[in-house]
Structure 1
Amino acid sequence: MQSKKSSGAKPAQRVIKKYPNRRLYDTDTSTYITLAEVKQLVMDSESFVVRDAKTNEDLTRSILLQIILEEEAGGAPMFTEAALANIIRFYGHAMQGFMGSYLEKNVQAFMDIQTKLGEQSKGLTPEMWAQFINMQSPMMQGMMGNYVEQSKNMFTQMQEQMQKQTEQMLGAFGLKK
Protein backbone atom coordinates (compact mmCIF):
# COMPACT_ATOMS: atom_id res chain seq x y z
CA MET A 1 0.00 0.00 0.00
CA GLN A 2 1.39 3.36 -0.97
CA SER A 3 0.42 6.60 0.67
CA LYS A 4 -1.08 9.30 -1.47
CA LYS A 5 0.98 12.47 -1.74
CA SER A 6 -0.43 15.95 -1.34
CA SER A 7 0.98 19.04 -3.01
CA GLY A 8 3.68 19.28 -0.33
CA ALA A 9 6.38 16.76 0.55
CA LYS A 10 4.35 15.36 3.45
CA PRO A 11 2.27 12.24 2.62
CA ALA A 12 -1.48 12.67 2.89
CA GLN A 13 -3.03 11.34 6.06
CA ARG A 14 -4.95 8.14 5.57
CA VAL A 15 -8.63 8.51 6.49
CA ILE A 16 -10.59 5.69 8.09
CA LYS A 17 -14.30 6.20 8.54
CA LYS A 18 -16.22 4.61 11.38
CA TYR A 19 -19.83 3.83 10.63
CA PRO A 20 -22.69 3.48 13.14
CA ASN A 21 -22.56 -0.31 12.73
CA ARG A 22 -19.01 -0.06 14.25
CA ARG A 23 -17.36 -1.01 10.95
CA LEU A 24 -14.20 0.76 9.89
CA TYR A 25 -13.78 1.79 6.25
CA ASP A 26 -10.32 2.59 4.87
CA THR A 27 -10.78 5.28 2.22
CA ASP A 28 -7.22 4.66 0.95
CA THR A 29 -7.93 1.05 -0.06
CA SER A 30 -11.74 1.38 -0.39
CA THR A 31 -12.23 -1.63 1.88
CA TYR A 32 -13.58 -2.39 5.34
CA ILE A 33 -10.83 -3.13 7.84
CA THR A 34 -10.62 -4.64 11.29
CA LEU A 35 -9.21 -3.22 14.49
CA ALA A 36 -6.26 -5.60 14.01
CA GLU A 37 -5.55 -3.95 10.67
CA VAL A 38 -5.70 -0.51 12.29
CA LYS A 39 -3.19 -1.83 14.86
CA GLN A 40 -0.96 -2.88 11.96
CA LEU A 41 -1.10 0.67 10.57
CA VAL A 42 0.17 1.85 13.96
CA MET A 43 2.90 -0.79 13.95
CA ASP A 44 3.91 0.31 10.44
CA SER A 45 4.00 3.97 11.59
CA GLU A 46 1.34 4.90 9.02
CA SER A 47 -0.21 8.33 9.48
CA PHE A 48 -3.99 7.99 9.77
CA VAL A 49 -7.07 9.53 11.30
CA VAL A 50 -10.33 7.79 12.23
CA ARG A 51 -13.43 9.92 11.62
CA ASP A 52 -17.09 9.35 12.38
CA ALA A 53 -18.76 8.80 9.01
CA LYS A 54 -21.77 10.98 9.91
CA THR A 55 -20.34 13.81 12.03
CA ASN A 56 -16.71 13.79 10.83
CA GLU A 57 -15.66 13.85 14.52
CA ASP A 58 -12.08 12.68 15.12
CA LEU A 59 -12.27 9.25 16.80
CA THR A 60 -8.58 8.34 16.49
CA ARG A 61 -7.83 8.47 20.24
CA SER A 62 -10.89 6.36 20.98
CA ILE A 63 -9.80 3.69 18.48
CA LEU A 64 -6.22 3.70 19.82
CA LEU A 65 -7.55 3.29 23.37
CA GLN A 66 -9.71 0.41 22.14
CA ILE A 67 -6.61 -1.28 20.68
CA ILE A 68 -4.78 -0.81 24.00
CA LEU A 69 -7.76 -2.25 25.89
CA GLU A 70 -7.77 -5.35 23.66
CA GLU A 71 -4.01 -5.76 24.08
CA GLU A 72 -4.30 -5.39 27.85
CA ALA A 73 -7.08 -8.00 27.95
CA GLY A 74 -5.05 -10.32 25.72
CA GLY A 75 -3.17 -12.08 28.50
CA ALA A 76 0.13 -10.14 28.67
CA PRO A 77 -0.82 -6.73 30.08
CA MET A 78 1.74 -3.93 30.11
CA PHE A 79 0.07 -1.88 32.84
CA THR A 80 -0.42 -3.09 36.40
CA GLU A 81 -3.58 -2.19 38.30
CA ALA A 82 -1.50 0.20 40.42
CA ALA A 83 -0.13 1.96 37.33
CA LEU A 84 -3.63 2.32 35.84
CA ALA A 85 -5.01 3.62 39.15
CA ASN A 86 -2.22 6.20 39.35
CA ILE A 87 -2.90 7.36 35.79
CA ILE A 88 -6.61 7.71 36.60
CA ARG A 89 -5.75 9.82 39.65
CA PHE A 90 -4.13 12.43 37.39
CA TYR A 91 -7.41 13.15 35.55
CA GLY A 92 -8.80 16.44 36.78
CA HIS A 93 -5.61 17.11 38.76
CA ALA A 94 -3.62 20.28 38.14
CA MET A 95 -0.76 18.06 36.92
CA GLN A 96 -2.83 16.30 34.23
CA GLY A 97 -1.37 18.23 31.30
CA PHE A 98 2.17 17.87 32.57
CA MET A 99 1.74 14.15 33.20
CA GLY A 100 0.53 13.49 29.66
CA SER A 101 3.51 15.34 28.22
CA TYR A 102 5.90 13.61 30.63
CA LEU A 103 4.61 10.14 29.72
CA GLU A 104 4.70 10.92 25.99
CA LYS A 105 8.32 12.10 26.13
CA ASN A 106 9.38 9.12 28.24
CA VAL A 107 7.74 6.60 25.93
CA GLN A 108 9.39 8.31 22.93
CA ALA A 109 12.79 8.20 24.66
CA PHE A 110 12.29 4.51 25.39
CA MET A 111 11.29 3.89 21.74
CA ASP A 112 14.45 5.70 20.59
CA ILE A 113 16.57 3.40 22.79
CA GLN A 114 14.77 0.35 21.42
CA THR A 115 15.41 1.52 17.84
CA LYS A 116 19.12 2.05 18.56
CA LEU A 117 19.36 -1.40 20.13
CA GLY A 118 17.62 -2.93 17.12
CA GLU A 119 19.99 -1.23 14.69
CA GLN A 120 23.05 -2.31 16.67
CA SER A 121 21.86 -5.90 17.05
CA LYS A 122 21.38 -6.68 13.34
CA GLY A 123 23.37 -9.78 12.45
CA LEU A 124 23.68 -11.09 16.00
CA THR A 125 23.15 -14.82 16.44
CA PRO A 126 21.05 -16.13 19.36
CA GLU A 127 24.29 -17.16 21.10
CA MET A 128 25.73 -13.67 20.68
CA TRP A 129 22.48 -12.16 22.03
CA ALA A 130 22.66 -14.40 25.11
CA GLN A 131 26.26 -13.38 25.69
CA PHE A 132 25.34 -9.72 25.20
CA ILE A 133 22.47 -9.90 27.69
CA ASN A 134 24.49 -11.84 30.26
CA MET A 135 27.34 -9.33 30.14
CA GLN A 136 24.99 -6.39 30.76
CA SER A 137 27.28 -4.48 28.47
CA PRO A 138 28.47 -0.97 29.25
CA MET A 139 26.64 0.18 26.10
CA MET A 140 23.32 -1.06 27.51
CA GLN A 141 24.05 0.49 30.88
CA GLY A 142 24.98 3.76 29.16
CA MET A 143 21.79 3.82 27.11
CA MET A 144 19.61 3.10 30.13
CA GLY A 145 21.57 5.72 32.08
CA ASN A 146 20.86 8.21 29.29
CA TYR A 147 17.16 7.30 29.42
CA VAL A 148 17.02 7.77 33.19
CA GLU A 149 18.93 11.07 32.89
CA GLN A 150 16.58 12.28 30.14
CA SER A 151 13.56 11.28 32.23
CA LYS A 152 14.98 13.14 35.23
CA ASN A 153 15.61 16.23 33.10
CA MET A 154 12.04 16.16 31.76
CA PHE A 155 10.69 15.90 35.30
CA THR A 156 12.90 18.79 36.44
CA GLN A 157 11.70 20.93 33.52
CA MET A 158 8.11 20.07 34.42
CA GLN A 159 8.71 21.12 38.04
CA GLU A 160 10.34 24.40 36.96
CA GLN A 161 7.45 25.16 34.60
CA MET A 162 4.93 24.49 37.39
CA GLN A 163 6.85 26.75 39.77
CA LYS A 164 6.91 29.59 37.20
CA GLN A 165 3.18 29.22 36.57
CA THR A 166 2.46 29.22 40.31
CA GLU A 167 4.57 32.36 40.80
CA GLN A 168 2.78 34.06 37.89
CA MET A 169 -0.61 33.11 39.29
CA LEU A 170 0.30 34.33 42.79
CA GLY A 171 1.68 37.54 41.28
CA ALA A 172 -1.59 38.10 39.43
CA PHE A 173 -3.40 37.96 42.77
CA GLY A 174 -0.89 40.34 44.35
CA LEU A 175 0.67 37.57 46.45
CA LYS A 176 4.41 37.14 46.29
CA LYS A 177 6.38 34.18 47.46
Structure 2
Amino acid sequence: MPENTPGTATASERVVKKYPNRRLYDTQTSAYITLAEVKALVMQNEPIVVKDAKTGEDLTRSILLQIILDEEAGGAPMFTEAMLVNIIRFYGHAMQGFMGSYLERNVQMFTEMQGRFSEQMKGASPDMWRNFLGMQMPAMPPVPGMPDMAGGNYQAQSQQFFQQMQEQMQKQTEQMLTAFGIKRP
Protein backbone atom coordinates (compact mmCIF):
# COMPACT_ATOMS: atom_id res chain seq x y z
CA MET A 1 0.00 0.00 0.00
CA PRO A 2 1.37 3.42 -0.84
CA GLU A 3 2.33 5.62 2.04
CA ASN A 4 0.03 8.51 2.71
CA THR A 5 -0.96 10.79 5.52
CA PRO A 6 -2.69 8.77 8.25
CA GLY A 7 -6.44 8.86 7.86
CA THR A 8 -6.36 9.86 4.19
CA ALA A 9 -6.66 7.66 1.14
CA THR A 10 -5.29 8.07 -2.33
CA ALA A 11 -7.67 7.90 -5.28
CA SER A 12 -6.56 4.32 -6.05
CA GLU A 13 -7.14 3.00 -2.53
CA ARG A 14 -10.32 1.30 -1.50
CA VAL A 15 -11.71 2.90 1.65
CA VAL A 16 -13.17 0.68 4.33
CA LYS A 17 -14.80 2.37 7.29
CA LYS A 18 -14.88 0.77 10.72
CA TYR A 19 -17.89 1.62 12.84
CA PRO A 20 -18.10 1.56 16.65
CA ASN A 21 -20.11 -1.69 16.46
CA ARG A 22 -16.93 -3.23 14.94
CA ARG A 23 -18.55 -3.59 11.52
CA LEU A 24 -16.52 -2.82 8.41
CA TYR A 25 -18.14 -0.90 5.56
CA ASP A 26 -16.69 -0.99 2.04
CA THR A 27 -17.36 2.43 0.53
CA GLN A 28 -16.73 1.14 -3.01
CA THR A 29 -19.45 -1.52 -2.91
CA SER A 30 -21.63 0.29 -0.33
CA ALA A 31 -21.87 -2.89 1.73
CA TYR A 32 -20.70 -4.26 5.04
CA ILE A 33 -17.82 -6.72 4.72
CA THR A 34 -16.12 -9.18 7.02
CA LEU A 35 -12.49 -9.40 8.07
CA ALA A 36 -12.19 -12.41 5.75
CA GLU A 37 -13.32 -10.20 2.87
CA VAL A 38 -10.71 -7.59 3.80
CA LYS A 39 -8.13 -10.40 3.73
CA ALA A 40 -9.41 -11.41 0.27
CA LEU A 41 -8.90 -7.81 -0.94
CA VAL A 42 -5.33 -7.87 0.37
CA MET A 43 -4.74 -11.24 -1.32
CA GLN A 44 -5.98 -9.71 -4.60
CA ASN A 45 -3.42 -6.87 -4.21
CA GLU A 46 -6.24 -4.37 -3.79
CA PRO A 47 -4.86 -1.24 -2.10
CA ILE A 48 -7.04 -0.50 0.92
CA VAL A 49 -7.17 1.91 3.80
CA VAL A 50 -9.31 1.32 6.88
CA LYS A 51 -10.56 4.42 8.65
CA ASP A 52 -12.52 4.96 11.82
CA ALA A 53 -15.95 6.08 10.60
CA LYS A 54 -16.32 8.67 13.36
CA THR A 55 -12.81 10.15 13.75
CA GLY A 56 -11.21 9.35 10.39
CA GLU A 57 -8.24 7.79 12.21
CA ASP A 58 -6.25 5.35 10.06
CA LEU A 59 -6.87 1.84 11.42
CA THR A 60 -5.27 -0.06 8.53
CA ARG A 61 -2.34 -1.43 10.54
CA SER A 62 -4.54 -2.68 13.38
CA ILE A 63 -6.89 -4.44 10.94
CA LEU A 64 -3.95 -6.04 9.09
CA LEU A 65 -2.47 -7.15 12.42
CA GLN A 66 -5.86 -8.61 13.36
CA ILE A 67 -5.87 -10.61 10.10
CA ILE A 68 -2.36 -11.89 10.87
CA LEU A 69 -3.42 -12.82 14.41
CA ASP A 70 -6.41 -14.76 13.05
CA GLU A 71 -4.17 -16.54 10.53
CA GLU A 72 -1.60 -17.40 13.20
CA ALA A 73 -4.34 -18.84 15.44
CA GLY A 74 -5.75 -20.80 12.50
CA GLY A 75 -3.51 -23.85 12.82
CA ALA A 76 -0.58 -23.29 10.43
CA PRO A 77 1.35 -20.43 12.00
CA MET A 78 4.11 -18.68 10.07
CA PHE A 79 5.88 -17.29 13.13
CA THR A 80 7.50 -19.49 15.76
CA GLU A 81 7.35 -18.47 19.41
CA ALA A 82 11.11 -17.82 19.33
CA MET A 83 10.68 -15.47 16.37
CA LEU A 84 7.83 -13.60 18.07
CA VAL A 85 9.91 -13.27 21.26
CA ASN A 86 12.79 -11.82 19.25
CA ILE A 87 10.51 -9.38 17.45
CA ILE A 88 9.07 -8.21 20.78
CA ARG A 89 12.58 -7.68 22.14
CA PHE A 90 13.30 -5.18 19.35
CA TYR A 91 10.47 -2.86 20.43
CA GLY A 92 11.96 0.11 22.23
CA HIS A 93 15.47 -0.98 21.24
CA ALA A 94 17.73 1.35 19.28
CA MET A 95 17.60 -1.17 16.42
CA GLN A 96 13.78 -1.20 16.16
CA GLY A 97 13.62 0.91 13.00
CA PHE A 98 16.44 -0.98 11.35
CA MET A 99 14.90 -4.35 12.17
CA GLY A 100 11.60 -3.29 10.63
CA SER A 101 13.22 -2.16 7.40
CA TYR A 102 15.45 -5.27 7.38
CA LEU A 103 12.44 -7.57 7.66
CA GLU A 104 10.54 -5.56 5.08
CA ARG A 105 13.41 -5.75 2.56
CA ASN A 106 13.82 -9.49 3.06
CA VAL A 107 10.11 -10.21 2.73
CA GLN A 108 10.05 -8.04 -0.41
CA MET A 109 13.03 -9.99 -1.82
CA PHE A 110 11.30 -13.29 -1.06
CA THR A 111 8.06 -12.04 -2.65
CA GLU A 112 9.89 -10.98 -5.81
CA MET A 113 11.65 -14.36 -6.00
CA GLN A 114 8.36 -16.17 -5.55
CA GLY A 115 6.76 -13.94 -8.22
CA ARG A 116 9.51 -14.75 -10.73
CA PHE A 117 9.14 -18.44 -9.99
CA SER A 118 5.34 -18.30 -10.33
CA GLU A 119 5.63 -16.42 -13.61
CA GLN A 120 7.97 -19.07 -14.95
CA MET A 121 5.63 -21.86 -13.85
CA LYS A 122 2.45 -20.32 -15.38
CA GLY A 123 2.35 -22.71 -18.32
CA ALA A 124 3.20 -25.79 -16.26
CA SER A 125 0.93 -28.76 -16.76
CA PRO A 126 -0.47 -30.75 -13.82
CA ASP A 127 2.08 -33.48 -14.62
CA MET A 128 4.91 -30.94 -14.42
CA TRP A 129 3.63 -29.77 -11.02
CA ARG A 130 3.33 -33.36 -9.81
CA ASN A 131 6.91 -34.00 -10.92
CA PHE A 132 8.07 -30.76 -9.33
CA LEU A 133 6.40 -31.51 -6.01
CA GLY A 134 7.78 -35.06 -6.14
CA MET A 135 11.29 -33.62 -6.64
CA GLN A 136 11.50 -35.30 -10.06
CA MET A 137 12.25 -32.12 -11.91
CA PRO A 138 10.84 -31.63 -15.43
CA ALA A 139 12.89 -29.94 -18.14
CA MET A 140 12.04 -26.25 -17.81
CA PRO A 141 13.89 -23.08 -18.73
CA PRO A 142 15.86 -21.54 -15.83
CA VAL A 143 14.37 -18.74 -13.80
CA PRO A 144 16.76 -15.78 -13.39
CA GLY A 145 18.09 -15.82 -9.84
CA MET A 146 16.82 -19.35 -9.18
CA PRO A 147 18.64 -22.68 -9.54
CA ASP A 148 18.53 -24.36 -12.97
CA MET A 149 15.83 -26.99 -12.61
CA ALA A 150 16.46 -28.53 -16.03
CA GLY A 151 19.95 -29.71 -15.15
CA GLY A 152 18.84 -32.75 -13.14
CA ASN A 153 21.00 -31.54 -10.27
CA TYR A 154 18.23 -29.52 -8.65
CA GLN A 155 18.72 -30.57 -5.04
CA ALA A 156 22.42 -29.68 -5.02
CA GLN A 157 21.80 -26.40 -6.84
CA SER A 158 18.86 -25.54 -4.59
CA GLN A 159 20.87 -26.30 -1.46
CA GLN A 160 23.74 -24.15 -2.72
CA PHE A 161 21.37 -21.32 -3.67
CA PHE A 162 19.69 -21.23 -0.25
CA GLN A 163 23.02 -21.58 1.54
CA GLN A 164 24.33 -18.56 -0.37
CA MET A 165 21.17 -16.63 0.45
CA GLN A 166 21.48 -17.56 4.13
CA GLU A 167 25.16 -16.52 4.19
CA GLN A 168 24.32 -13.20 2.54
CA MET A 169 21.54 -12.51 5.08
CA GLN A 170 23.89 -13.50 7.93
CA LYS A 171 26.60 -11.13 6.65
CA GLN A 172 24.08 -8.30 6.33
CA THR A 173 22.84 -8.93 9.86
CA GLU A 174 26.35 -9.05 11.31
CA GLN A 175 27.27 -5.81 9.49
CA MET A 176 24.14 -4.13 10.82
CA LEU A 177 24.77 -5.31 14.39
CA THR A 178 28.48 -4.38 14.23
CA ALA A 179 27.55 -0.89 13.05
CA PHE A 180 25.66 -0.45 16.31
CA GLY A 181 28.29 -2.00 18.52
CA ILE A 182 26.41 -5.20 19.20
CA LYS A 183 28.61 -8.27 19.25
CA ARG A 184 27.34 -11.73 18.43
CA PRO A 185 27.46 -14.10 21.44
Match of 1:68 in 2: 68
Give me the TM-score of the superposition, normalised by structure 2. 0.72
Amino acid at match of 1:74: G
Amino acid at match of 1:89: R
Contact between 1:110 and 1:147, CA under 8 Å: does it hold in 2? no
In the TM superposition, 1:93-172 aligns within 5 A as 93-132=93-132, 134=135, 138-139=147-148, 141=158, 144=162, 147-148=165-166, 151=169, 155=173, 158-159=176-177, 162=180
Structure 2 residue 87 is the aligned partner of structure 1 residue 78: no
Q: Root-mean-square deviation (CA), in Å?
A: 2.7
Amino acid at match of 1:59: L
Give the deviation of 1:12 after TM superposition: 2.3
Amino acid at match of 1:20: P
Contact between 1:50 and 1:58, CA under 8 Å: does it hold in 2? yes
In the TM superposition, 1:10-89 aligns within 5 A as 11-89=11-89
Give the deviation of 1:152 after TM superposition: 5.2
* Gap runs ≥5 in structure 2: 1-9, 138-145, 150-157
For the residue of structure 1 that corresponds to 2:54, the secondary structure is: coil
Amino acid at match of 1:61: R
* Gap runs ≥5 in structure 1: 1-9, 164-177
Give me the TM-score of the superposition, normalised by structure 1. 0.75
* Structure 1 residues 147 and 24: CA distance shift in structure 2, 3 A: farther
Contact between 1:52 and 1:59, CA under 8 Å: does it hold in 2? yes
Amino acid at match of 1:53: A
For the residue of structure 2 that corresponds to 1:32, the secondary structure is: strand
Partners of 1:16 and 1:68 lie apart in 2 by: 18
Amino acid at match of 1:138: P
Give the deviation of 1:129 after TM superposition: 2.9
More helix as a share of residues: 1
For the residue of structure 2 that corresponds to 1:15, the secondary structure is: strand
Partners of 2:124 and 2:38 lie apart in 1 by: 31
Partners of 2:127 and 2:17 lie apart in 1 by: 47
* Structure 1 residues 19 and 91: CA distance shift in structure 2, 3 A: same
Partners of 1:104 and 1:156 lie apart in 2 by: 17
Partners of 1:75 and 1:156 lie apart in 2 by: 33
Partners of 2:65 and 2:120 lie apart in 1 by: 32
Deviations 1:90-142 (A, max 9, x none): 11111100000000110110010111110111222343234445267833638
Give the deviation of 1:41 after TM superposition: 0.9
